Homo-oligomer: A and B are copies of this chain.
Amino acid sequence: MATGGFLSRFLQLGRGRFGKGAPRAALLTVRVLSRAASRSQLHGTERSRVLTGKEDRFGGVTVDLSETGLAQDVSESEFSEILRESVARWKAERRAAVWLRVPIALSRCAAAASCHGFTFHHAKHDHAVLSLWLGDGRSRLPAFATHQVGVAGAVVDESTGKVLVVQDRNKTKNAWKFPGGLSDPGENIGATAVREVLEETGVRSEFRSLLSIRQQHQHPNAFGMSDMYIICRLSPLTYDIHFCTQECVRCEWLDLAELAQTHSTTPITSRVARLLLRGLESGFGHIDLGMEELPAVYSGTVYQLYYRQLPPPLRP
């Protein structure tokens, strides 16, 4: 399953050390420990502070700096010293990895952490998460989200054989394409298609199926990340066009046969037009990846599965 790689790669380290039980209870304090030996002999009586955090079953530990009781004005050098001793302890305890959650107001701690080998794993709104791999070999920590998802909607009017197409304002070539745009975080594929079609063309529609998927890495507008671009088939609920003049220069209901043949389009649009033409001719069941909603086993939420739904009796 999707998380198999993360869990398994990480587990190769963790299992055997913490077993498969639930995470241990969290100890979320900056513990003040009296120190006896070597350094106190150098610097007189000294006390050492060590960060502790939530242990996970993969052999890692997560420290949330907003829950450690750390002073809001802790200096970089002070935090660096705390972290130095903490890392030494985690290494002695043979931890696989350390995750450091840093509230934006304590960002100076990230600079200090970088001196100890931590790097940014990701950041969201009001906090950053840094990680440090302590296990053997190269890091087996899972990456953060790698893809943005863009969705376009091919709104097919089956009564006329026409499809709704636009020409982008900010492109060098006047190519017909299906209206679409980026999914908002947490938004379903079909919902993005319906929303973008409405925003760009003024046409209301409903989701039918998924038709094609493109994967492209280092996408120019994805902050160096990858892009997944999905085209959906939609059915129109309204037909009047009121297109967004800031986004499009043209918007029309175009004959599918014409779209399948014109050179004034993109390679993807052209292929999907041919698919849709076949659907019009012999039924969309031949080209559709239908959607089924199923309950997620662990999270209690619902997920959407897109696949070729078979006619009875083989249909599940």
* Chain B residues positioned under 8 Å from A217 (CB to CB): 186, 188, 301
A316 touches B274 (CB 8 A): yes
Q: How would residues 105 to 121 of chain A score, 1 for a CB under 8 Å from any chain B CB and 0 otherwise? A: 11111110010000111
Is A181 an interface position by the 8 A CB rule? yes
Shortest CB distance A268–B (Å): 6
Tell me if A148 and B2 are in contact (CB < 8 A).
Answer: yes
Chain copies in the assembled complex: 2
How far, in whole Å, are A20 and B246 apart by their CA atoms in the complex?
Answer: 12
Q: Which residues of A contact B (CB under 8 A)?
A: 1-9, 11-12, 15, 20, 76, 104-111, 114, 119-129, 142-152, 168-170, 177, 179-186, 188-189, 196, 200, 210-229, 244, 246-247, 266-268, 270-272, 274-275, 277-278, 286-287, 289, 292, 294, 296-299, 301, 303-308, 310, 314-316
The SS class assigned to the A binding surface is: mixed
Chain B residues closer than 8 Å to A150, beta-carbon distance:
1-5
Do B147 and A314 have beta carbons less than 8 Å apart?
no
A192–chain B nearest beta-carbon distance, Å: 8
Q: Is the CB of B106 within 8 A of A111?
A: yes
Q: Nearest-CB distance from A25 to chain B (Å)?
A: 20
A76 to B105, CA, bound (A): 11
Contacts of A183 in B (CB 8 A): 146
Closest to A306 in B: B213
